[in-house]
Amino acid sequence: MNDASAHSDASARSDASARSDAATRPNAATRRGRRALGGGLPAWLRPLDAEQPGLGRTRLIETTLLLLAGLFLAIATVDDVVLQTHVNNRLVADLRTWRSYTGHDYHNVAPERDIFGHTTRDFVCGNTAPGPPKERVQICLVMTGPIIHGRRAVHAGWYLPPKTEDLLRYRYACFGSAVQQGLCRE
Amino acid sequence: MSAVAASEYGGSLHRTTRAARWAPALAGVCGLLIVAATAEIVLDGALGHSSLIPRSPDIAGWLTGIGERLGYRVFLIALIVFSFAYVGILALAWTRDAISKRWALVLVGALHALIFAGPILLSTDVFSYIAYARMGVEHGINPYLHGPSSITGDPVYHYVGHDWKHVATAYGPLYTLLSYPLAPLGVTGALWGMKLEALLASAGTLALTWRCTRARGVDPVPALLAVGANPLYVVYGLGGAHNDLIMLLLMMAAVSLTLAGRSSIGHDGLAAATVVVGALVKATVAALLPFMILSRRRLAPVVGALAALVLGALIGYAAFGIHGIDVVAALNRDAAFVSTDSFPTEIAHLLGKPGVFPVDHDLLKAALVAIVLHLMWRTWRGYDWVAASGWTLLAIAVTSTWLLAWYILWPLPLAVVTRDRRLLVATLAVQALFVVHQMAPLLAPVS
């Protein structure tokens, strides 16, 4: 048993030694491979198995820049989510206000908002009579200010003919401060 | 060893043993949460009538009756649960070695089966693919010259996304030709064909990722989970049957060839040719070529790439004319698009601008060129070309003004293959930011 074990150990050592030799002494195939990998090229053109030394500083700078870029992207993402959340809150309040103001419980009401945070003045348009979106005379309301009890203040508004977009040239029967705000023609 | 040290060692060993006992159970819980979240999205989505589910032929009707209509709230909660469980399972796989190969395969297989059985999720792109195929095969119209609006009478037209009805295809000629055999199967048959293509491409990508990680001496089980159980990969990529999966398959085939045949000219040439074939499916993958060539520093990849390019261009030209091979025009057109989820748009909002302007496009392109040049210099100095390619794909996604969830999947298989862990962390961080950006409807639901 012991002999067998010793023989086995020796054999294993011999195998390991052979493998080690094979690893350190290039055989014909490896030499061919190295030639193929650019052995005939000048040293600076040959492929590298590992990075050249002296790139630790580069890596540090890269990692620092990556962290800063990541932080910047994270701030931009969170800011955008907050912005969008405020817009959504206004949207809900504006739809509720439009329904309460006009007495119509329509769902196809089109809000048009200043989604980029410059102002909180939003326009909400919807039909004055039942029908497909924009197929009837529409009433548009201008809403501003904070949300109070789930609604916002209506300061102005106008009407639009059927099948038209909310463009200055189509607006008529303006009310409130629409003309003073430059939202309607006189 | 002193008594105190022995006691500390014993305590530490006890904690390690206890953690080792809990780790597989915790991994099991994470796996179940991932499957449950996916099942919730699929079963609710099967009901249709949701803004998250594109209008589609009824292919998942047999799943209806179990779920409810998929709303933003349920979808986003499921996505959050999926994402946290994914992070948990990755942490356990990498730090505790708590997940067996069989268990990982079962989890990834279950997710693929669930998605395959369910409806198309979150994107109408697959209907554009079918429309382009039917334009060419059924109507004799060149999809590189006209959009689906030229086949308004075709049954697939109504399913194509509104923004894409007038847009000619931007995909490579090889992909368009690959989709042609599905056109005569009708919309439903073609849809199943596309789903099957996506499933097989995903399976192939995962198998090649496994092979590459082993060749690189990286543990393949966490790598498999990092890609195959990734929430964006499963829900958005596979759920939408996106052709990006075919591009990823060819990308990983190229990487696999370079790793398998390190000293073979034939392997290098074939690998470069495979990248070009991938670019003839979707051009983005061409980003790998300069790094592969710089790393190998031999003629074989250049010759292989040129041969594939000439052959591909000839086939593309014969099938579609000059427009079929004018990739630059298609890329320029797509580069001008702007999506609300893109990072440049978010940064513009942060800086008080309403959105990105033409000058911003130029600045972003300049930044991308600078990044690529730096990575090329690093590759020349011996940096892993696979990692450099991954960074480039990530940079393309981050600087693009038109960002979709499946674009952030591009660097993922490369990130798990390379030993530079920064790439994986960065890719997952960008994906996490994308998921966070979807959360506004959860914080302020719109009724």
ipTM metric: 0.86
Which strand ranges, in their side-by-side order, compose the sheet holding A122-127? A110-112, A122-127, A138-148, A151-160, A172-176
In a mutational test of the B interface, the residue from A77, A79, A82, A119 whose CB has the highest number of chain B CBs within 10 Å is A77
| Amino acid A46: pLDDT | 67
Cα B275 to chain centroid distance, Å, stands at 16
Which residue ranges in chain A fall short of pLDDT 70?
1-55, 113-118, 186
Partners of B354 on chain A (C-beta within 8 Å) are 116, 118
Q: Does A9 touch chain B (CB under 8 A)?
A: no
The angle at the Cα of B390, spanning B386 to B394, to the nearest 5 degrees, equals 170
By Cβ distance, the residue of B263, B346, B429 closest to A33 is: B263
| Amino acid A30: pLDDT | 46
Which residue ranges in chain B fall short of pLDDT 50?
1
By Cβ distance, the residue of A38, A52, A80 closest to B382 is: A52
CA distance B161 to B144: 17
Which residue is closest to A54 within chain B, CA to CA? B381
* Closest listed residue to residue B151, CA positions, set B58, B321, B140: B140
In a mutational test of the B interface, the residue from A59, A73, A95 whose CB has the highest number of chain B CBs within 10 Å is A73
> Is A1 exposed, middle or buried, given 0-12, 13-18 or 19+ CB atoms closer than 10 A?
exposed
In the A/B pair of chains, how many CB contacts fall below 8 A? 106
By Cβ distance, the residue of A38, A72, A79 closest to B349 is: A79
What would the 3-class secondary structure string for A91-108 be? HHHHHHHHHHHHCCCCCC
| Amino acid A47: pLDDT | 65
DSSP-derived secondary structure letter, A15 = H
Q: pLDDT tens for residues B320-358?
A: 888 878 877 777 777 778 888 899 999 998 988 878 888
Contact B193, B103 (CB under 8 A): no
DSSP-derived secondary structure letter, A109 = -
By Cβ distance, the residue of A49, A66, A85 closest to B422 is: A66
- Give the amino acid at A75: I
Give the count of beta carbons closer than 10 Å to the beta carbon of residue B350: 17
CA distance B197 to B203: 10
The three-state secondary structure class of A27 is coil
**Cβ within 8 Å of residue B90, ≥6 positions away:** B222, B225, B226
| Amino acid A72: pLDDT | 96
Contact B103, B31 (CB under 8 A): yes
CA distance A30 to A32: 5
Contact A144, A120 (CB under 8 A): yes
Inter-chain touch A81–B437, beta carbons under 8 Å: yes
**Cβ within 8 Å of residue B368, ≥6 positions away:** B395, B396, B399
